[in-house]
Amino acid sequence: MPRVFEFDRAIVRAPARSVVDGLRADASAVPDYDGVVREHAAYVAALRAAGVTVEVLTPLEAFPDSVFVEDPALVFRDGAVLLRPGAPSRLGEREAMRPVLARHFETVLELGDGEYADGGDVLMTRDAAMIGLSARTNETGAEALAAALARLGRRARIVETPKSVLHFKTACSLLDERTVLATWAMAESGVFAGFEIVVVPDDEAAAANALRVNGVVLIGDRFPRTRDLLAKRGYAVVPLPVTEIGKLDAGLSCMSLRWKRGT
C-alpha cells in the first residue's frame, strides 16, 4: 500500500468567474478573480512538478465554491465517496462530480439525505481517517462516512473540531505518517495523541493547512516562519501564493482530489 501522502493522480476544477461570490466569513474580503486563477494555476503546476498527473475540470459558474473539489468527494485508489456538503449552496456540486468519479472509479459510494460531511473535515492518516465534526459535518454524516470508509477497507475516527475552526483541516495537516502540522488549539485538543505535533506560530495559524504531496510539502507563501520551521526539520517546502484563495476561507488541501492508482 502507498503511504497516505503518495499520489500520482489528481482532479481539480478551474475557478469560475463567480468564485468572487464564494462563501467566506468576512464578506468585505472580496477575492480578485484573476488572482484566484493565477494562484490555482500555480497550485496545479506544483502538483505536476511533484509527479502528479492532473485532470482540470471546466468551471461551474452556478457554484462559486466549486473550485474546492475536495469538499463534495473523497477518493482512494480502490473507490470514492460522494459526500454531501454542509453548506446548502454547495449541494449541487456533488451532482457535477458524480460522472467525474464514475469515469475513474468502479466503486462510488454516497451519503444520503441528512448525512452532511465535507471533505475538508477529513484527514487521512496511516491508521485511520479522522472525521472532524464541524458546522459543515454533522454526527449523522460523520457516522455514514465512517461506514462508507469501512466498505472501502478503511478505519475512521470521529473527533471534535475546535469551535472556532471552519473545517478540521483548516487547523491541521499531515507532514508524514507520524507527524502533523497544527495550530495550538488543535494541538491542545488531544485528537493527535501518539503523533508528533509541529505547532505553527500564532500569527501564522492559516499555515496549518499545508499539503504533503510525495516528497514535498506545499504551504502558503505568506507564512515564512512556518516555512523555515519545516525546512529546519528536513522537509522540502514549496511555497505557493494563497492570498486570494485565503479570502474564501480556503487553503491548499481543498483544491484537489488526490489518489495513487493501484498496481
Which residue numbers are catalytic?
Answer: 167, 254
Total residue count of the chain as it appears in this document: 263
Q: Is 128 exposed, middle or buried (0-12, 13-18, 19+ CB in 10 A)?
A: middle
Alpha-carbon span 214 to 47, nearest angstrom:
9
Could you tell me the sign of the dihedral formed by the alpha carbons of 23, 29, 34, 38, in that order?
Answer: negative
Region of 53 on the Ramachandran plot (φ > 0 left; ψ -120 to 50 alpha; else beta)? beta
Task: Determine what percent of the chain falls in helix, strand and coil, rounding each to the nearest 5.
Answer: 30, 25, 45
Alpha-carbon span 4 to 96, nearest angstrom:
26
**What end-to-end distance do the CA atoms of the chain give, in Å?**
9
* Nearest by Cα to 204 from 180, 188, 228, 237: 228
* Phi, psi of 125, deg, nearest 5: -120, 175
The dihedral over CA atoms of 254, 256, 262, 263, expressed in degrees to the nearest 10, equals -130
Place of cell 471552519: 166
